[in-house]
Amino acid sequence: MSDRLLRRSWPAIAVLALAAAGYQAGAIPATGPAKPKPRPKVKLPTAVRVVARDFTYALSRAAVPVGRVRFTVVNRGGVAHDFAIAGRRTPLLGPGKSAVLTVAFARAARVAYRCTVPGHAALGMKGTLTVGRPAPATTTRPAPSTTAPTTTAAPVPLTLTKIGDFVRPIFVTAPPGDPNHLFVAEQRGTVQEVVDGQVRPAPFLDVTDRVLEVSERGFLGLAFAPDYATSGRFYADFTDRTGNGNLNVVEYRRSAADPDQADPYSARQILEIEKPWENHNAGMIQFGPDGYLYVAVGDGDSGVLHPPGTFAQTLDDLIGNILRIDPLHPTGSAPYSIPDSNPFAGRAGARGEIWDYGFRNPWRFSIDPVTGDLYVGDAGEGEREEIDYVAGNTGGLNFGWPCFEGTVAHPTAKTCPDPVAPIYDYDHGGGRCAVIGGVVVRDPRLPSLAGRYLFGDYCDGKIHSTLVTDGKAGDVVDTGLTLPTLDSFGVDGIGRIYVTATDGGVYRLDPAP
């Protein structure tokens, strides 16, 4: 072959040679298009679901691998919360709201998370997430223990610290998460505000023109809405000057001009309940973790005009019950709505507002913000005082008055279907006369009382605690604290506990110095 012909034929010969040799690396393939290189796999972030409640977090997993983690945070509580971890945090989430937070963890570690709302972390909204396999906290192996482990914190000596003198104080509370403001309700019809330990000179609210203070009548309860920080809404429970002292629940708003004053012209009537007689008004109101308002109403007559317990077993009125309503979302022209999940909602012949019934005078109840459990102190007639309890606060229960006074059968013409027995009751020995229902301790300063329920008696003033396990009150003990004319327990915005006395003193439960 000539050189000229060889030069012309070289491209074709080269291609054939390469194909015959099966050449692959970087060359034109023998047949078909070039195969694309596989894409590198993208590692998806680890998913963690975070459920916020009042005042705890529940994480779907306690440990994650190193790398990106996608936190889906949903607020199932009744107040606003956020979620902060590794220098990142979600927006402040109102009840029912959610947000997504993605964080990249570069190395193994134990990473703290918390709610940044003031006071919420102290109530339990904090924890630690394990990333990868972090190094152990210590390199020294501890010596084996010679004693059995304990799950009970060492007892902390207690004391009652007086925060001020008032006029027949009947309740202490505060807006959720607020560490600086405290509100003391007085039976005469005023609410006093304490700011950073100092009582303000003018009342926060004054409704003495509507309230008549006589015996059990007067201003009885106070509750701040879960969204008080933004809405300024709060609720008062009192008997008025009408008839036998009708029971009222009224919404008010904080003054737009002065946050330390209520706006007296903002009153919105939520409930008005006509009373058959002047006593057994109950009076406790509280927003539960579900965001609904619970209202205690006594049976309205101790036996003056009607036989004892006449209205406690009836479902067509609002007397002798604990009610559950939603004043934050009224329906149509009504001042509140009735949650569809209420046990008697839509039932013919029954009031849908009723949550539980069969009470005599449940002066003070409490819903534990951590567990949602319901505790009720229901005053007896002449023999027994009782503490009622419902795990998880499931509604629709009958607590048995007037068929039972505590655990003792009571003579009556009434029938009480499926009555629920109290978890604890006691007689009037030792000068006791009327139970004062209390609260569950969630103050981190008092670890030995964590999860224990406090209660007392008006006449002997002794404060007791009990730990409820499997629906039973166990280990009922005297705390060693006594407050004459003890009439109520309360909790501030960061979980500290207060007690009030009819003689005027308001005290905070503190560790002893």
What DSSP designation does 300 have?
S
Question: What pLDDT is recorded for position 21?
Answer: 40
Question: What pLDDT is recorded for position 79?
Answer: 77
Structural domains of the chain in order of their starting residue, each with its CATH number? 47-131 (2.60.40.420), 158-511 (2.120.10.30)
Q: How many CA atoms lie within 13 A of 220 on its CB side?
A: 33
Q: CA-CA distance, 472 to 495, in Å (whole number)?
A: 24
Cβ neighbours for 97, distance < 8 A, ≥ 6 positions apart = 74, 75
Question: What pLDDT is recorded for position 305?
Answer: 92
- Give the pairing of strands 181-186 and 219-224: unpaired
65, two tokens: 């691998």
- Residue 464 pairs in a beta bridge with 455, 478
Burial of 445 (0-12, 13-18, 19+ CB in 10 A): middle
Q: Which helix (H) or strand (E) holds 58?
A: strand 56-59
Residues 482, 462: contact at Cβ < 8 Å? yes
Q: Which helix (H) or strand (E) holds 324?
A: strand 321-325
Question: What pLDDT is recorded for position 94?
Answer: 83
Q: Is 448 helix (H, G, I), strand (E, B) or coil?
A: helix
Residues 272, 334: contact at Cβ < 8 Å? no
Residues 255-260: contacts with CB under 8 Å, at least 24 apart: 256/232, 259/232, 260/193, 260/195, 260/200, 260/204
Question: What pLDDT is recorded for position 36?
Answer: 53
Question: What pLDDT is recorded for position 155?
Answer: 64
Q: Which helix (H) or strand (E) holds 237?
A: strand 233-239
- Residue 376 dihedral angles phi and psi, to the nearest 5°: -135, 130
Question: What pLDDT is recorded for position 431?
Answer: 92
The pLDDT tens digits along the chain (513 residues) read 444 444 444 444 344 333 334 444 444 444 555 555 555 555 688 999 998 888 889 888 888 999 999 999 998 877 788 999 999 999 999 888 899 999 999 999 989 999 988 777 777 788 889 998 654 433 333 333 332 222 344 567 899 999 999 999 999 999 999 999 999 999 999 999 999 999 999 999 999 999 999 999 999 999 999 999 999 999 999 999 999 999 999 999 999 999 999 999 999 999 999 999 999 999 999 999 999 999 999 999 988 999 999 999 999 999 999 999 999 999 989 999 999 999 999 999 999 999 999 999 999 999 999 999 999 999 999 899 999 999 999 999 999 999 999 999 988 888 999 999 999 999 999 999 999 999 999 999 999 999 999 999 999 999 999 999 999 999 999 999 999 999 999 999 999 999 999 999 999 999 998
Q: Is 89 helix (H, G, I), strand (E, B) or coil?
A: strand
pTM: 0.74
- Token look-up 């007892």 returns 155
Question: Is residue 484 reached through a cis peptide bond, with omega within 30 degrees of 0 on the bond before it?
Answer: no
Cβ neighbours for 212, distance < 8 A, ≥ 6 positions apart = 218, 239, 240, 241, 245
Residues 477, 483, 484, 485: what is their CA dihedral angle, to the nearest 10 degrees? Answer: -90
- Token look-up 């393939």 returns 29
What DSSP designation does 485 have?
T
Q: CA-CA distance, 263 to 511, in Å (whole number)?
A: 37
- Residue 11 pairs in a beta bridge with none
Residue 384 CA, chain-centre distance (Å), reads: 29
Residues 325, 251: contact at Cβ < 8 Å? no
Residues 89, 101: contact at Cβ < 8 Å? yes
Residues 297, 318: contact at Cβ < 8 Å? yes
203, two tokens: 């009342």
Q: What value, to the nearest 5°, has the Cα angle with vertex 439 and ends 435 and 440? A: 130
Cβ neighbours for 118, distance < 8 A, ≥ 6 positions apart = 177, 178, 179, 494
